[in-house]
Amino acid sequence: MFCSFSDQMKLLRYFCIMKKNIAFLGCLFILGSLYGQVEETKLHPKHEIGFSVGAFPLVGFISPPKDKGLLNFGDYGFEHTSYEKYEDGGYEKMYHLGSFALNYNYHFNRKHSLGASLSWVGRHIEINKTYYESSIFGGGFLGGGSSGRYPVDTVNGIGWKHYFTLQGNYRYTYYRKNNISLYFGIHCGAVLCVRDKKILPKETIHNLFGYERNDQYYLNPAFHLNAFGIDIGKKNVFNMELGIGTQGIIKAGYKYKF
């Protein structure tokens, strides 16, 4: 049975109204989703940049075996200052002010974040040291002398050892309430050490335990574990962390979230 022309016009108007309503509802849904995303971003920003200062960093600790032999444990430990006196009257002094870092993080959601950090530690060195080479054919092994060492170079100078560390990081936020977030994370990357020539021997020093190289530049792996971190604030955030590695045992800083 065929519809009359007037009925067909009524159906056409009905479908047009339905299409407009569906389009209107679709627009409302899209606008609502966009508004929700904007509100979510306001409440939990996706990006953050920050600056921090850390005390007692462990940087330059891991070195390739070829650098100083298999018994190498890096230049220094956690200390900010050190003074080493040698038997022959030489000495080496060191101090630094801590680790200074720039950080960026992208928050995928309320828990998981990825980012990167660039940090610097500058160790000021004053050295007056005589370098010796050792040999199994020296007097300490085969007689004819009190030891198997003989001097090959003396360094007397003041300079710097700069450690530039670039690392990627993962962060897991396990607690959020009001303006407080608690989290932990891990950083992995590489550290570039740049040493002044005036505090280095003129050539690589050989001894029984490997080598003491005179390279002005060298690259090592870098690691930092953040065992506990706290953020306080919404956009302008005070930050503090406890951990171990290139950025220090304890560090504090400022972040801006957007």
Distance CA 75, CA 212 (A): 11
pLDDT at 86: 87
What is d(CA 32, CA 38) in angstroms, rounded to the nearest whole number?
10
- pLDDT tens for 226-252 read 999 999 999 999 999 999 999 999 999
What's the pLDDT at 69?
41
**Predicted local confidence at residue 142, as pLDDT:** 39
- Who's near 123: CB < 8 A, 6+ residues apart? 75, 76, 94, 95, 96, 160, 161, 162, 163
CA–CA distance, 27 with 202 (Å, rounded to integer): 74
Summarize pLDDT for 147-163 with one digit per residue, the tens.
567 788 889 999 999 99
With a cut of 50, which residues of the chain have pLDDT below it? 34-41, 64-73, 137-146
